[in-house]
Amino acid sequence: MSEQEPASDLPESDEEWRERLTDEEYRILREKGTEARFSGEHVDRDEQGVYTCAACGTVLFDSGTKFDAACGWPSFYAAEDSAVTYEEDTRHGMTRVEVKCATCDGHLGHVFKDGPEPTGERFCINSVALDFEPAE
């Protein structure tokens, strides 16, 4: 997706989401897919700025909360207030906590209780689900 649309202009149908997102964005954000480890553009990014939802532009994570978890996906120890929602995910024979964009309900990744202080959480997020806006 090249430009962010206002959150109030969110697609209402599956067809509209398919038109708005690339095939890979659609697979991750709408079909709950996962990108290959170490393949995402944000895994090694260490610039100051914010990470936004690739589907709707909502600010999700500040770069100050990003850390190297050596897991192959961008990892953060905290999300922005009210930016994400959580849902139990029992797919693939395990129980995890799915992280979704609170604005557009897009699948971002999962959160685990093995992160650093101050939260002890590790938000393991697909790069494809994120855009990056550098600090000014």
Evaluate whether residue 5 is within a structural domain: no
4 Cβ contact partners less than 8 Å away, ≥ 6 residues apart: 52, 56, 57, 131
Whether residue 104 lies in the annotated active site: no
Evaluate whether residue 28 is within a structural domain: yes
Instruction: Check 53, 56, 104, 124 and give the catalytic one.
Output: 124
- CATH number for the domain spanning 83: value is 2.170.150.20
Evaluate whether residue 2 is within a structural domain: no
How many structural domains comprise the chain? Answer: 1
Query: What DSSP letter does each residue of 72-106 carry, written as one string?
Result: SS-EES-PPTTSEEEEEE-GGGS-EEEEEETTT--
Q: What is the pLDDT along the chain (136 residues), one digit of tens a residue?
A: 434 444 568 998 999 999 999 999 999 999 999 999 999 999 999 999 999 999 999 999 999 999 999 999 999 999 999 999 999 999 989 999 999 999 999 999 999 999 999 999 999 999 999 999 999 8
Identify the domain containing residue 130 by its residue range. 11-134
Evaluate whether residue 109 is within a structural domain: yes
Evaluate whether residue 6 is within a structural domain: no
CA atoms of 8 and 134, how far apart (whole Å) = 24
* Entry pTM: 0.91
Q: Which long-range contacts (CB under 8 A, 24 or more apart) does 83-86 make?
A: 83/58, 83/59, 84/60, 84/108, 84/123, 86/111
